Amino acid sequence: MHQFLVEVDASFYIKNQEMKKIKNIAIVAFDSKKTDLIEWSYFNRKFLLPHQLFALGFAVNILEGTLNKKINQGEEIKLSSYRDLCKLIADDKIDAVIIFGEAEEIFDSKDLKVVLETAIEHNIITLTIRPLRTLSCILHSWEASIK
């Protein structure tokens, strides 16, 4: 495991915790983004395969199909609702939340708003599929930083 020291200014440093090699990544998708989820997960399967993935609803079946890997199979981690996801985030069992949806869909969902608030409160990385470049950049930076 690696430790990272981030310089903020000449007299102040933030020391981050050790970075885990295997991340717990929660993936949330709206019906309108099924095709995007299929394409994205297939294209990024090399990155996604080593990590523990968690999803809700149809996203579980899509991810299991594109990755040929069981989803929601973490040690003592059960995910069947947004409430469960909030609990996992609050218990520091999720490292990132990736959301496949349009902004209107995301902010119109009361349950997902609570997930976002919980993630922000617990300093969890939250990504949306737009812009994809940013998402890919962050995900692949994890890969590079743990080698």
Higher pLDDT, 85 or 133: 85
For residue 143, the model assigns a pLDDT of 63
For residue 3, the model assigns a pLDDT of 43
For residue 146, the model assigns a pLDDT of 53
For residue 58, the model assigns a pLDDT of 92
DSSP code string of 40-58: HHHHTHHHHTTSEEEE-TH
| Contacts of 102 by beta carbon, 8 Å cutoff, 6+ apart | 30, 32, 33
Higher pLDDT, 31 or 128: 31
Indicate if the pLDDT at residue 10 is higher than 60.
no
Q: How do residues 135-145 score in pLDDT, each as one tens digit?
A: 666 666 666 65
Fold of 19-145: Rossmann fold (3.40.50)
For residue 138, the model assigns a pLDDT of 66
% of the chain at pLDDT higher than 90:
38
For residue 53, the model assigns a pLDDT of 93
Q: Report the pLDDT averaged over residues 90-99.
A: 91
Whether 86 contacts 114, CB under 8 Å: yes
Domain ranges of the chain: 19-145
Whether 19 contacts 1, CB under 8 Å: yes
Q: Which of 5, 18, 6, 19 is nearest to 51 (CA)?
A: 19
| Rounded (10°) angle between helices 34-43 and 58-67 | 30
Higher pLDDT, 127 or 98: 98
For residue 106, the model assigns a pLDDT of 85
Token representation of residue 122: 């617990």
